[in-house]
Amino acid sequence: MSTVRMQDSYSGMTPALPPASRSVLRQLWHDRWIYLFLAPSLLLFVLFVLYPVVSSLYFSLLDWNGFTSNARFIGLDNYIEVANDPLFWNAFNNTILFMVITVPIRVSLALIVAIILNDPRLPFANLFRTALFLPVITTTAIIGVVMTFVFDPVGGPVNRFLLETGLVDRPINFLGQANSALYTAMGIHIWKWFGVTLVYWLAALQTVPKELYEAAQVDGANPRQVFRYITVPVLLPFGLLILVITALDTLRVFDLILTLTGGGPFLRTEVVEVYIYRWAFNSSIPRLGYASAAAVFFGLATLALAAMQGVVVAYLRRKRNEL
Amino acid sequence: MRQRLLPGFVSEWKWDLRRIITVLILLVVCLVWVYPFLWMVSASLKTSREIFASGLNLVPSEWRWENYERAWVQANFSRYMINTVVITVATVALVVFHTSLSGYVLGRFKFIGQRFILGLLVATVFVPLGYTIIPTVQIAGALGLLNTLLGPILVLSSGHVIHILLFAAFFRSVPKELEEAAVLDGANFLQVYWRVMLPLSRPVIATVSVLTFLQAWNNFLVPLVFTFSRPDLRTLSVGLFAFIGENEIDWSGMAAAATLSLIPIVLVFFFAQRQFVEGLAGAVKQ
């Protein structure tokens, strides 16, 4: 009995012969194991993914502080207020600045290091890779806390080093100064996630067929030619994907910013996620409706970026099939 | 001319010099890279005063192991460690369980509603979940999951659509014959999955486990908002964050707590380094 069920489920469609005689209900009952297998995923999905997504859309239309029951429907007013709040645009700019500055640095530096580490004759390659990967596995919130001490103007080792080598006369308050805080946070972010981008590049480099290199060597190509005419064309599509993945990464810097600066000084490091958190959990009068509107607003921007990733992946697939 | 006479010698010598310089530069870079960790470990063994007075000297004048005792016992980090381990292990197990089940049927069968379910799942892949924390907390409260360990476990386990798709893609690629043989031997639906398909998918299980492990261990926002009124349920990162607020001067205790928090994950990383790297690389290789 189970044999029959297995096979016709497997063959793809419902049995070809008597579709009319089989009601939908019977088909559902017939596939009951399938739905049972789906149940745990779907249950969790509906409760903690779908419901929150849909209801944050709804919340964004309310004037609601999250505690009382007297939520008032106000249509798109929250969105209008978000769009007119200079502090939202400050956070938005910080987020975009974060992306525009860190992504090219991370992606290009990681490529250079990946090419060096990809050399099979390089000694200690494993050690280097492990060292560069170490920050990736450490908890971001802990990094944020530790880094406030590393960059401390009074006793932190960075300022000690700068003072002792005479590079500066007086300590720099890296994270407490309006003009340096965001850039310091960017530096820490690059340091923390560099290893991931490195792994991506190493994976991409490994897809370059060895025969191509061997053929180039036989033909007497020099390393620069090999890089220009073999490595670059193969890596280019991967590079696009790595760029987009990395860009999406930089939208998730909540843990780091909250533990590092809390958005200060003077909101100079406040990214959109922290802005939302501030309105939802951390202000004297919480405004969940307003925070939700800001979240939806920004979520749409993220979606646009994600759609780009989809396009890039599709492009990659096509490219690969052509090869 | 010279190159033609001694081709191997000239190029190899040049290469060696370049290689030595490369290695030296990399060594310096890596030292700078891990310096914050060295500094943290060293600070955890000093007194708070010495941290700020001793400058760049990493070796403590006297090894103060009592910092660790203070963090572990008084600051309750033993409790936070247990909470973190429970949340992480349970999340990884639950994610592998549910994503392999649904990935199996989605990748292997055709059924009514399949397209709808797939579309629904994929549509939410890129919704930034951090932004939906408000209703998540609300529904967890309604279900009585706030201020429990089960709450963060369920929230962190939900979704994982990418992992479902990974399993689906893998199971789709398994040759039909394997399954047919098992069916001929009288295996039922559950047995085919459990005895044939799941063991085959070990590489996917490894990838999913590692990525989920990283995510669950490092998560901050979910345990933060779930434990606002139950300090004893905090995880390591939430505990450390709270620690600064509560004990504003105890730098060395903080460093000890941070070191303690990092030891398990560094150990796991050393034992599962390949899975970590391959799991991440899978995002690019697809």
Which residue, A46, A73, A100, sits at the end of a domain?
A73
Residue A132 and residue A7 share a domain: no
Contact: A49, B158; criterion CB under 8 Å: yes
When scoring A142, A163, A318 by the number of chain B Cβ atoms within 10 A, the one with the most, hence best to mutate, is A142
Residue A97 main-chain phi, psi, to 5 deg: -60, -45
B27 compared with A304, residue with greater pLDDT: B27
Residue A154 and residue A29 share a domain: no
Residue A113 and residue A46 share a domain: no
Contact: A238, B23; criterion CB under 8 Å: no
Cα–Cα distance between B120 and B109 in angstroms, integer? 17
Q: What pLDDT score does A9 carry?
A: 44
Which residues of chain A neighbour B43 with C-beta distances below 8 Å?
A: 149
What distance in Å separates residue A185's CA from the closest CA in chain B?
Answer: 15
User: What is the tally of structural domains in chain A?
Assistant: 2
Contacts of A149 (CB under 8 A, 6+ apart): A155, A156, B43, B51, B251, B254, B255
Contact: A149, B43; criterion CB under 8 Å: yes
What distance in Å separates residue A252's CA from the closest CA in chain B?
Answer: 8
ipTM of this predicted complex? 0.84
B142 touches A at CB < 8 Å? no
Helices B251-271, B7-43: inter-axial angle, 10-degree rounding: 140
Percent of chain B beyond pLDDT 90? 29
Which residue, A73, A105, A120, sits at the end of a domain?
A73
Contact: A200, B126; criterion CB under 8 Å: no
What distance in Å separates residue A79's CA from the closest CA in chain B?
Answer: 15
Contact by Cβ (8 Å): B226, B83: no
B170 touches A at CB < 8 Å? no
Mean pLDDT in residue range B224-238: 88
CATH code at A309?
A: 1.10.3720.10
Residue A267 and residue A168 share a domain: yes
Residue A135 and residue A209 share a domain: yes
When scoring B34, B81, B91, B134 by the number of chain A Cβ atoms within 10 A, the one with the most, hence best to mutate, is B134
Residue A258 and residue A114 share a domain: yes
How confident is the model over A254-290, as pLDDT tens digits? 889 988 888 878 888 899 888 988 888 777 778 888 9
Cα–Cα distance between A3 and B185 in angstroms, integer? 9
Residue A168 and residue A39 share a domain: no
Residue A113 and residue A13 share a domain: no
Mean pLDDT in residue range B144-160: 92
- Give the dihedral sign, CA A47/A53/A59/A61: negative
As a residue count, chain A comes to: 323
B164, pLDDT greater than 90: yes
Domain ranges across chain B: 2-64, 75-246
Which residues of chain B neighbour A288 with C-beta distances below 8 Å?
A: 134
Q: Tell me the CB-side half-sphere exposure of residue A93, using CA atoms within 13 A.
A: 10
Q: What pLDDT score does A6 carry?
A: 44
Which residue, A53, A73, A93, sits at the end of a domain?
A73
Q: What pLDDT score does A12 carry?
A: 43
The beta-strand segments (E) located in B35-163 are none
How confident is the model over A186-230, as pLDDT tens digits? 999 999 999 989 988 988 888 877 788 788 878 888 878 887 888
Q: What pLDDT score does A39 carry?
A: 95
Q: What pLDDT score does B283 carry?
A: 64
Please give the residue range of the domain that contains residue A61.
Answer: 2-73
SS (H, E, C) chain A: CHHHHHHHHHCCCCCCCCCCCCCHHHHHHHCHHHHHHHHHHHHHHHHHHHHHHHHHHHHCCEECCCCCCCCEECCCHHHHHHHHCHHHHHHHHHHHHHHHHHHHHHHHHHHHHHHHHCCCCCCCHHHHHHHHHHHHHCCHHHHHHHHHHHCCCCCCHHHHHHHHCCCCCCCCCCCCCCCCHHHHHHHHHHHHHHHHHHHHHHHHHCCCCHHHHHHHHHCCCCHHHHHHHHHHHHHHHHHHHHHHHHHHHCCCCHHHHHHHCCCCCCCCCCCHHHHHHHHHHCCCCCCHHHHHHHHHHHHHHHHHHHHHHHHHHHHHHHHHHHC
Q: What pLDDT score does A257 carry?
A: 92
Percent of chain A beyond pLDDT 70? 91
Contact: A145, B240; criterion CB under 8 Å: yes
Cα–Cα distance between B169 and B73 in angstroms, integer? 47
Percent of chain A beyond pLDDT 90? 24
CATH of B75-246, one of 2.60.120.10, 2.60.40.10, 1.10.10.10, 1.10.3720.10: 1.10.3720.10
Cα–Cα distance between B66 and A12 in angstroms, integer? 65
Contact: A38, B254; criterion CB under 8 Å: no
